[in-house]
Structure 1
């Protein structure tokens, strides 16, 4: 089981302050410390070096996936997630780990100057160890960025499908852009939840802002209409322009039983009529 030489670990402990100073200087020179507060940088470098020494005493340096390295893995995952949320890139985050090499190499060269074979062995082991920790950091950073992007996409989908209360018991959902499976799911969930929360009996889906309607889009609309009906509410699709009507006919899509209107105003008038209401001019 390859592990760092006891003399290497002792040297790191003895010259800890010098090692940390050289590491931070390297971070400053590469720009990896830019945007990170001085207090936070000192805390992170101190903690990582402490965890590195702790794991190196009994840990196999060629297997950072073992339980011995769990604490330092968790620490690096925390750093990666923090950097990702702050908007740093993967290179900036990886450099935080990789820049430790230069400081460690300088220390090891001084300690093992009289033993070239042991020097080479320790330099190689440290290089592989830091590389493995750095790659773990990059992988965690990429996953964190993917999670951030996914969450932002979900938030954008929610913002792009606002459910508007037009009147007591009447909801409207203006659609803008193309419909796909993911967006249809968000639309269905938010609209059905709003129907439950408000006790609405009529839902209007306005597709004025939908550029084209193909077979897939029509299927998504039909699924949404079916789900609304299962909730005990009626659904009206508005914004059916002549081009969209022709496309639906040419595609041979069956929208029988689905109430459609050319614009939102007509759909609202129909919804009010179903609710036993009508709009009249105000008295002079």
Structure 2
């Protein structure tokens, strides 16, 4: 800070315990308390970082100054932690703004007889804390976006499993909307499993895909092309009457690609292609199927 930095430095160092106590009391009164041990650590770390910035003569008008790098680091860590724990951006910002009252009170005690100095120092401290609060909101939002992105990726992976149905036969049950990102994920997972298992056939089941338009068809064609480039072949199952009509009306060309109405039909064809014959055995309790190599 350019002016009155000595007074603020004294407040943050000599009267540190008092400021911390008042800050924590303010947090508790405002409903922002998270537990004594965590708050003592967070408030202590942030107060030390602010003191370092004051001693380095950081400008309150430019929070990007190198003098405030430690403060930004502490705030970023604090925001990321609270975002992961489900706190809101308002709660995170309120944590910083709660420091205003203790600092203003300390400055008022220091400059009780000097209104001009009190006004200048109060303005500088207020500007700094406002910048800090705004920074926490920005970093909180970035952290939440990263968390949401990771969760979406995990959900995509869970919603597109590659299942080994039989020796040499893999299946990918598609559920929900098929977009570019999901197509890429399916393609990578499926191709990797083809390499790992040496499978010759992959069934792409779209029973759970609500609608098929030109874009979805293009994604399916890309996936089939990638499978064939790996030396395997693909069968698309789950072609319901409505989807068949839509494909015809849109003029989508699936020539050369084997399609089946159900996953069972696709599996039966896949077994035949891989040299297995499905036969019905003698009826027993619960029924049985016999599988033999051709």
What's the counterpart of residue 85 of structure 1? 84
What's the counterpart of residue 226 of structure 1? 225
Alignment partners' CA distance in 1, 2:143 and 2:4: 31
TM-score, length-scaled by structure 2: 0.93
241-250 or 99-108, larger mean C-alpha shift = 241-250
2:5 and 2:54 in contact (8 A); partners too: no
* Structure 1 runs of 4+ with >2 Å offset: 1-5, 281-284
1:177 Cα deviation (Å)? 1.6
2:205 and 2:237 in contact (8 A); partners too: yes
Q: Determine whether 1:32 maps to 2:32.
A: yes
TM-score, length-scaled by structure 1: 0.96
1:4 Cα deviation (Å)? 4.1
Structure 2 stretches lacking a partner, 5+ long:
284-294
In structure 2, the CA distance between the partners of 1:139 and 1:3, relative to structure 1 (3 Å rule), is: farther
1:261 and 1:267 in contact (8 A); partners too: yes
1:2 and 1:62 in contact (8 A); partners too: no
What's the counterpart of residue 19 of structure 2? 19
Alignment partners' CA distance in 1, 2:25 and 2:46: 16
What's the counterpart of residue 6 of structure 1? 6
What's the counterpart of residue 95 of structure 2? 96
1:3 and 1:56 in contact (8 A); partners too: no
What's the counterpart of residue 43 of structure 2? 45
What's the counterpart of residue 171 of structure 1? 170
83-92 or 61-70, larger mean C-alpha shift = 61-70
3-state SS of the aligned residue for 1:173?
strand
C-alpha offsets along residues 227-274 of structure 1, whole Å, 9 cap, x if unaligned? 111111110001111111111111111111111011111110111111
1:185 Cα deviation (Å)? 1.4
1:208 and 1:239 in contact (8 A); partners too: yes
In structure 2, the CA distance between the partners of 1:227 and 1:4, relative to structure 1 (3 Å rule), is: farther
Alignment partners' CA distance in 2, 1:251 and 1:119: 74
In structure 2, the CA distance between the partners of 1:3 and 1:173, relative to structure 1 (3 Å rule), is: farther
273-282 or 135-144, larger mean C-alpha shift = 273-282
1:5 Cα deviation (Å)? 2.6
Alignment partners' CA distance in 2, 1:202 and 1:217: 21
Alignment partners' CA distance in 1, 2:76 and 2:7: 29
3-state SS of the aligned residue for 2:254?
coil
Q: Determine whether 1:202 maps to 2:201.
A: yes
1:176 and 1:208 in contact (8 A); partners too: yes
52-61 or 1-10, larger mean C-alpha shift = 1-10
What is the RMSD computed on CA atoms of the aligned residues? 1.3
Alignment partners' CA distance in 2, 1:262 and 1:253: 17
Aligned pairs for 1:140-155 within 5 A: 140-155=139-154
Q: Determine whether 1:266 maps to 2:265.
A: yes
What's the counterpart of residue 64 of structure 1? 63
3-state SS of the aligned residue for 2:279?
coil
1:3 and 1:57 in contact (8 A); partners too: no
Alignment partners' CA distance in 2, 1:233 and 1:224: 12
Structure 1 stretches lacking a partner, 5+ long:
none
